[in-house]
Amino acid sequence: MSKKKLPPGRHTLRSIASELGVSTTTVSRVINGKSQQYGIAELTRQRVLEHTRNINFFPDPVARGLRLNKMHTIGLVLPDLRKSYFSQIAQSLSDATRKRSYMLHICVANNDAQIEMDALHQLIARNIDGLVICPTGQDTEYLEVLRKQHFPVIQVARYLSELSLPYVASDNRAGSYLATCHLLKEGHKKIACLNGAPGMSVSQDRLDGYLQAIREYLHRISNKLITGDCYTKENGYRSIRQLLASGVSFTAVLAMSNQIAMGALQALNEAGKHIPEDVSLVCFDDFDGVEFFETPLTVVTQAVDKIGQVAADKLFQMIDAPEKQVEQKRLIPVRLIKRNSVKPPRKA
């Protein structure tokens, strides 16, 4: 007769040991990264780690804190470090934690939900004092377990809206609203929206800002002008090529990231379209050297350093005074920097 499985968050070292047929000590040593030190077989280590992943088991941080000394370490899980946006967040958090004499342990998920899960298990096993995460996947269960255990967690840049964990992010909706209104005020009525990955909070917020402005000014939405599926140059290039090939008319483009904008620029250039004479262009995220382009781009710029600082402040509030409630949502204002990539559309 099979043993009844415990619901997520109710597992213990003893119940896991019983399910796997090993000792509680063995499970504890594997979870705490001491397999090699105590000569635990690799097959046993893998069985224990795979099982804890499958059941979303995290050692109870409160109980561990009673047994172990605090490590003065903060965990940071980011989807990617190749993009300057995320490396800026990491730098800002590193500066903030160092001022408090904490170490920052950075894990990169490579936009892979399973790698993210593995990183979380490893960080919690190392008795970190708090966690900052920019979620990669849409699965909330593993973070919900930590929330129920009252473990300090802050979401940064992206957030899972259905999860009652505090988050710090740019006001993405306001940013795309500002950018779209700027184009509309210049006389553009056919504005292509090149969005990022569907399902992400940042993508939905930016799309909502665009739609809000279009509804207010034009009172109608053209879904044919909304395209895109990821935050890459390839997406920008492919989206513009598809719009041009389909014969959909547009006089302006709102690219939801600078990488998307770079791909869009390449496709427009290949099609003989000039910025801003033929097509106006606005994008999210300023970047080094953009002001020296042949046509400097108008951008929505984010206060990335501020995001990291506020996230660190909120996390330390949770660590220092766990009995107090922290602000659930903090949106950091963005700015529209107007350069030379926007002008009124040509008259038909």
Structural domain spans, the chain: 1-57, 172-303
- Which one is predicted more confidently, 301 or 84? 301
Q: What is the pLDDT of residue 191?
A: 98
Q: What is the pLDDT of residue 290?
A: 73
pLDDT digits (tens, 9 = 90+) for 27-43: 988 887 778 788 999 99
Rounded distance, CA 239 to CA 192, Å? 10
Q: What is the pLDDT of residue 167?
A: 96
Q: What is the pLDDT of residue 28?
A: 87
Residue 222: exposure state from Cβ atoms within 10 A (0-12, 13-18, ≥19): middle
Mean pLDDT of 84-109: 93
CATH superfamily of 172-303: Response regulator (3.40.50.2300)
Rounded distance, CA 304 to CA 325, Å? 25
Asked if 299 contacts 337 with a C-beta cutoff of 8 angstroms, the reply is yes
The distance from CA 81 to its chain's CA centroid, rounded to whole angstroms, is 11
- Which one is predicted more confidently, 12 or 172? 172
Name the pLDDT band for 348 (thresholds 50, 70, 90).
low
Record: fold of 1-57: 434 Repressor (Amino-terminal Domain) (1.10.260)
pLDDT digits (tens, 9 = 90+) for 39-52: 999 999 999 988 98
Question: Residue 1 pLDDT more than 50?
Answer: no
Mean pLDDT of 318-334: 92
Closest listed residue to residue 337, CA positions, set 302, 306, 304, 300: 300
Residues across the chain:
348
Name the pLDDT band for 259 (thresholds 50, 70, 90).
very high
Question: Residue 207 pLDDT more than 90?
Answer: yes
Name the pLDDT band for 65 (thresholds 50, 70, 90).
low
- Which one is predicted more confidently, 224 or 289? 224
Query: CB 109: neighbour CB atoms within 10 A?
Result: 22
Mean pLDDT of 79-98: 93
**Percent of the chain topping pLDDT 90:** 68
Question: Residue 224 pLDDT more than 50?
Answer: yes
Q: What is the pLDDT of residue 3?
A: 42
Among the ranges given (9-18, 53-62, 129-138), the one the predictor scored with the smallest mean pLDDT = 53-62
pLDDT digits (tens, 9 = 90+) for 191-200: 999 999 988 9
Give 75's strand partners.
105, 131
Looking at every residue in the chain, the average pLDDT score rounds to 90
Where helices occur in the chain by DSSP H, the ranges are: 13-20, 24-31, 42-54, 61-67, 84-99, 113-125, 141-148, 172-185, 201-218, 233-246, 258-270, 304-320
Name the pLDDT band for 70 (thresholds 50, 70, 90).
low
Asked if 182 contacts 336 with a C-beta cutoff of 8 angstroms, the reply is yes
Mean pLDDT of 278-289: 91
Name the pLDDT band for 67 (thresholds 50, 70, 90).
low
Q: What is the pLDDT of residue 127?
A: 84
Rounded distance, CA 99 to CA 106, Å? 17
